[in-house]
Amino acid sequence: MAREGDLYGWAGKILRVNLSNGQIRTEPTSRYTEGWLGASGIAIKILYDELRSWVTPYDPANRLIVGAGPLIGTTAPGANKINVSTLGPMTGGWASGCSDSHFGPQLKYAGYDSVVIEGRSHTPVYLWIHDEEVEIRDASHLWGKTTWETLDALREELGDPSLHTLSIGPAGEYLARGGCIIQDRGRAFGRCGSGAVMGSKNLKAMVARGTGSIRVADPSRFMAAAAKGRDMVRGAKSSETFHKYGSMSVMPRKQQVCGIAYRNFQETRLPDDMAELIEPTRTIDKYRVAQVSFPGCAVGGCGRTLHVTEGPYAGLITECNQWEVFGTLQGRLAIREPTFMLKANALCNQMGLDVDAAGGPIGWAMECYQRGIIDEEDTGGLKLEWGDAAVALELIRMICYREGFGDILAEGCARAADIVGRDSGYYALHIKGQDLYEPCRGANGWALGTTTSTRGGGHTTGAVAVEATPALDVEKARKVYGVDNPDMALEYDGKARMVKYLEVLTRICNSLGVCIFNSKYRDMDMMGLPELAELYSAATGLETSVEDFERLAMRQLNLEKALNLRHTSFDRKDDMPTPRDLAEPIPTGGLEGWKIDEQRWNGMLDDYYDLHGWDGATSFPRRETLVELGLEGVADDLARIGKLR
């Protein structure tokens, strides 16, 4: 085993904090570097090894793991994402999310690659990490504050206006299942409910400040690889638009290909007059005052600070939202005020609530109200009418404080429908209990990657983003994915292979700390697996090929799958689209009348399982698959609970 001082790329230590007894200790990162790339890879290994089958998300025995990959803190292009993983309250299984971060480099400069939190403090606390000093400090005075207020208070308390925090707001404190962790003011570790787990531990915030540095094994080779990767990203045709507008630039194409939820997915595009009215790039151009970026971003930053100077939210100064807020709140709830997306995003960031955990249950509730399933007696007097921005904002607040009807919505749409009953489950759009943002009709690779995701829905762990890209270089995409039809969204053949490629790419990016928007996830001219393998090899000194990456990613994916099988009842049925997606054709637009062919979908799913070495009837892994990946002990575990084929 390598000594701490022999590691390159990594800081060398993992910080362990037990909030129940106040114990703080470290262990060498080298325990995990053989077989696990970093960040989310190390996290799933720790969670699988240390969580017994009886552990639940809010149990003190659950772990909350913050990880900064081996490229964080270096000059690698796109190395600005850190990861939070845990056993999540939305699905009861694997929960993992990434965020742009200033916190990550500071954590590594302080000497730590990951922080593993267990236990539960008797009173609210925050964690202050400054080089070799790690303190569990009282946070009673911070409890109840928003994330923005918490950031300001900690900077003043610690006497440093440049400090960066990870914190929760009221949503996490009140254990709203979609509570998320916010970095400073505007970047969320989305989905999964990691903020609620943090709240269950009475942990209000984490602050890191380090004065160390990260060494790379071969500086000349590494700098050459970094320069090549940066040139690829900056030279990609999509980078200029992405730098200017972030993911909001996809609006025209999403409208064209029926990729926007409207009225809780009753339709998959906006009415044309509404689309023209709320076109988001005009709002950005009108109110932009500054660009926002993070260390390492080769695009030059995709965030913008906006100052709203007129309308119902005049005076609001906030970082502009990305596309998901537009889709899951603005469009889904049919709200025509162009600046609503900014206000809703700011409110969710302040409260520490995942935007999908707001849009999902509110969209379900508004449709139930539309159809007479619920009324004012259920909602506490609120009329849940489409397009009512004030009601939507009030429901977000009520979710965060579990107030009135918000207490039901705070459970997410799947549980809310179960509580209310009255055949409302059809209108609860979710995958594995996780509120769904992604329209699944009209793009089969996107849908397959979303529905099979081990974290329960989500397009950033395998969904195919390039099917509907207008400027896709088809020849390059064919070479990358190894399929003939990468641009044909309505086809079923070849989609499983595309999803598997993206499962590998996204897990490598998430483990190393590279933003997927600096990779071939969205543009064939950006970094792919060969470039990432070269960066990793040069940084760590561990010579690693693309084939090694593919095996390591599949090893991680299978362990995520195994964690779910041990803690949930997920099987093949949970990898299917929602009942609405299967039953209803697209009602309007260019794809009007198109409907998922359920038989062909199942054939596509069979292809997916075959590629992974999983059983088609159950979705459970086969023993030979796990053994080949070096997971024989995991195979034995699954055999004992009857979930091995």
Q: Lowest-confidence range among 112-116, 297-301, 553-557? A: 297-301
User: Regarding beta strands 64-67 and 112-118, do their DSSP bridges make them parallel or antiparallel, or are they unpaired?
Assistant: antiparallel
H helix runs in 58-211, sequence order: 103-109, 147-157, 170-173, 194-200
CB 139 within 8 A of CB 220: no
Which candidate, 367, 370, 364, 365, places its Cα nearest to that of 380?
A: 365
pLDDT surpassing 60 at residue 323: yes
Question: For the segment 558-596, what is each residue's pLDDT rounded down to a tens digit?
Answer: 999 999 999 999 999 999 999 999 999 999 999 999 999
Q: In sequence order, what are the residues at sequence separation of 6 or more whose Cβ sits closer than 8 angstroms to the Cβ of residue 547?
A: none
Sequence-separated contacts (24+) of 580-586 with Cβ below 8 Å: 580/265, 580/426, 580/427, 580/429, 581/265, 581/440, 581/441, 581/447, 584/441, 585/441, 586/258, 586/267, 586/268, 586/441, 586/442
Neighbour tally for 618: CB within 10 Å: 16
Average pLDDT over residues 281-308: 95
Structural domains of the chain sorted by starting position, each given as residue range(s) with its CATH number in brackets: 4-209 (3.60.9.10), 240-426 (1.10.569.10), 444-640 (1.10.599.10)
The Cα-based distances of 590 to 236, 464, 486, 595 in angstroms read 29, 20, 19, 13
545 to 534, 535, 542, 622: CA distances (angstroms): 8, 11, 10, 26
Q: Is the pLDDT of residue 644 over 60?
A: yes
Question: What are the helix (H) ranges across 133-246?
Answer: 147-157, 170-173, 194-200, 219-235, 239-245
Q: Residues of the chain with pLDDT > 70: what percent?
A: 99
* In contact, 546 and 561? CB cutoff 8 Å: no
pLDDT of amino acid 467: 85
Q: How many helices (H) and strands (E) does the chain have?
A: 26, 17
- Rounded distance between C-alpha atoms, residue 12 and residue 2, angstroms: 10
The CA distance from 27 to 362, in Å, is 44
How far apart, in Å, are the Cα atoms of 198 and each of 26, 67, 88? Answer: 20, 15, 11
pLDDT score at 1: 27
Strand 125-130 vs strand 203-209: parallel, antiparallel, or unpaired? parallel
- Residues contacting 135, CB < 8 A, separation 6+: 127, 128
CA pair distance 175, 409, nearest whole angstrom? 12
Give the bridge partners for 207, in sequence order.
128, 165
Q: What angle is formed at CA 251 by the lines to CA 250 and CA 256, rounded to 5 degrees? A: 100
> Taking Cα atoms as reference points, which of 280, 189, 238, 230 lies closest to residue 466?
238
pLDDT at 331 over 60: yes
The residue behind tokens 């595309």 is 498
Backbone dihedral angles phi then psi of residue 22, each to the nearest 5 degrees? 80, 10
Print burial letters for 228-244: b (CB count within 10 Å at least 16), e (below 16). ebbebbbebebbeebbb
Mean pLDDT calculated for residue range 500-512: 98
- 3-state SS assignment for residue 185: coil
Phi then psi for residue 238, to 5 deg, are -80, -15
Mean pLDDT of the 165-175 span: 98
**Residue 4: is it exposed, middle or buried by C-beta count within 10 angstroms (0-12/13-18/19+)?**
middle
Whether 3 shows a pLDDT value over 50: the answer reads no
Average per-residue pLDDT for the chain: 96
- Render pLDDT for 432-487 as a digit per residue (tens, 0 to 9): 999 999 999 999 999 999 999 999 998 999 999 998 787 788 999 999 999 998 98
Closest CA to 549 of 577, 529, 569: 529
More confident residue, 381 or 191: 381
Cα diameter, the chain: 68
pLDDT (tens digit, 9 = 90+) per residue, 602-640?
999 999 999 999 999 999 999 999 999 999 999 999 999
**Predicted confidence (pLDDT) per residue in 215-269, tens digit:** 999 999 999 999 999 999 999 989 999 999 999 999 999 999 999 999 999 999 9
pLDDT band, very low/low/confident/very high, at 5 (cuts 50, 70, 90): low
Supply the DSSP string of 438-478, one letter for each residue: S--TT-HHHHHHHHT-TTTS-SSSS---STT-TT--HHHHH
Place of tokens 């569990």: 136
What mean pLDDT comes out for the span 519-541? 96
CA dihedral 564, 567, 572, 578 (to 10 degrees): -90
Which residues have C-beta within 8 Å of that of residue 188, sequence separation ≥ 6? 97, 99, 180, 181, 182, 348, 349, 354, 355
pLDDT tens track for 35-80: 999 999 999 999 999 999 999 999 999 999 999 999 999 999 999 9
What is the spatial distance between Cα 395 and Cα 410, in angstroms, rounded to a whole number? 10
